[in-house]
Structure 1
Amino acid sequence: MTVDSAQLAAFVPAVLALVGSPGPATLGLAAAGAAFGFRTARPFLFGLLSGVALTLVLVGTGVVGALLAHPVVGPLLTAFAACYMVYLAYRIATAAPIGDTHGSADAPGFVPGFVLAMTNPKAYAVFATLFSGFAVIPDDIVRNALFKGLLIMGLLTVTDFTWLYVGSALRHLFRDPRLSRRINVGFAVLLLLSVGFAVYA
């Protein structure tokens, strides 16, 4: 097994730029951190990472491409993804103000995080791009895909933890209930905008 150092040097920053940039998952994590705190939002993060791992497998094996190409299944999956993102944005926007123990929304847990990962249109586009390019191990297609998948997962885990931490850090900066509500609503709006952009792109 020979690793092409030039391809690897190009692949790593590409992964960081694509998976670490603002999108439905990263903004969802930051919003969950700001609305509910790092510790409370960790199950949401773990669910998201589990969903990402499955998404990587589905994209890498070509299953997703086949489903999205179907004239009926493709649009249905896209519509379901959009509806779920709206639901998640609502839960974030209606989260209890910081310091308020009686909120109109509970913190999203493992399952919402998993579903977010599986319905994130940006993730499918990004993973397809990363898998189709960059011959890091040019002499072995299978090992090349496995190596890239593991590297993507590792780097994505670091960036997702960072987004959640940054969001939770904001939680301690805003103790005013009205300002807290505005922050939550702002994150929810950004989440919806990122979804719209991802679907349009």
Structure 2
Amino acid sequence: MLTFAAAVFFLIVTPGPGVLSAAGVGSAFGFRQATRYLIGLFIGSNIVGAAVISGLAAVILANPAIRTVLMAASLAYLFYLAAKIAFAGAKIAFMQSKRGPGIGAGIMLQVINPKAYAVNTALFSGFSFAPDNYTFEVAMKLAIMYAIWLPIHLGWAYAGASLHRLNLSTRAQRRINYAMAAAMLMVVLLALFSSFFA
């Protein structure tokens, strides 16, 4: 169980679309909006977990065309979220972002996020500690994941929101938003690179 908990911690704490976007939403729109977004991420994470546990994800993702569509949708959506964070408070008419991503955006990100499927597949197909009682093992894994997932994501959102609360100048806040968006885009580029060269 301890090995599983360590794996969960390191797989979740490393910057990925979920934690980076949570920090970005917190930085650009404040903690309240980031909390709404986190509720969506949590629901989406559970949808992905259910798909992996039931075997549905393996059946769907066995089709290369579906995997390609999901990867393209994920990349496009991450670009969209990065733009929303980068241009928060901007006066550019087509990109004004007075209200940040909410519950629906969080669900959407997780459902089309390839890292969410990869992490859940690794965690639920490996690290067996109760092979004679699969139901107990899945329940314990979910409990451990929730106990680690929640504080890590709340911590990233709080860190972003702390920057938002500093009441920085518009220029400084814009630079922070750009940096958050750039970090998300780096994750997008790494995901794209790994999908081509894996």
TM-score normalised to the size of structure 2? 0.89
Range that drifts further, 104-113 or 172-181: 172-181
Q: What is the aligned partner in structure 2 of residue 104 from structure 1?
A: 96
Q: What is the aligned partner in structure 2 of residue 33 from structure 1?
A: 26
Larger helix fraction of residues:
2
Q: Distance in 1 between matches of 2:10 and 2:160?
A: 19
Of 14, 17, 40 in structure 2, the residue corresponding to residue 21 of structure 1 is 14
Q: What is the aligned partner in structure 1 of residue 62 from structure 2?
A: 69
Which residue identity does 2:73 align to in structure 1?
Answer: F
Which residue identity does 1:125 align to in structure 2?
Answer: A
Q: How does 1:1-201 map to 2 (within 5 A)?
A: 8-96=1-89, 104-105=96-97, 106-173=99-166, 175-201=168-194
Structure 2, unaligned runs of 5 or more: none
Structure 1, unaligned runs of 5 or more: 1-7, 98-102
Range that drifts further, 30-39 or 40-49: 40-49
Q: Distance in 1 between matches of 2:167 and 2:96?
A: 19
Deviation at 1:174, TM superposition (A): 5.4
Which residue identity does 1:81 align to in structure 2?
Answer: S
SS of 2:15's equivalent in the other structure is coil
SS of 2:108's equivalent in the other structure is helix
SS of 1:95's equivalent in the other structure is coil
Q: Distance in 1 between matches of 2:50 and 2:74?
A: 19
Q: Distance in 1 between matches of 2:131 and 2:58?
A: 23
Q: Distance in 2 between matches of 1:139 and 1:107?
A: 46
Q: Distance in 1 between matches of 2:127 and 2:188?
A: 27
Which residue identity does 2:119 align to in structure 1?
Answer: V
Deviation at 1:159, TM superposition (A): 1.0
Asked if the contact 2:71–2:113 (Cα under 8 Å) also holds between the matched residues in 1, the reply is no
Q: Distance in 1 between matches of 2:118 and 2:65?
A: 19
SS of 1:136's equivalent in the other structure is coil
Q: Distance in 2 between matches of 1:139 and 1:120?
A: 32
Asked if the contact 1:121–1:199 (Cα under 8 Å) also holds between the matched residues in 2, the reply is no
Which residue identity does 1:119 align to in structure 2?
Answer: I
SS of 1:139's equivalent in the other structure is coil
Deviation at 1:136, TM superposition (A): 2.2
Q: Distance in 2 between matches of 1:181 and 1:170?
A: 11
Q: Distance in 2 between matches of 1:80 and 1:124?
A: 14
Give the percent of matched residue pairs that are identical in Structure 1 and Structure 2: 35
Q: Distance in 2 between matches of 1:87 and 1:116?
A: 11
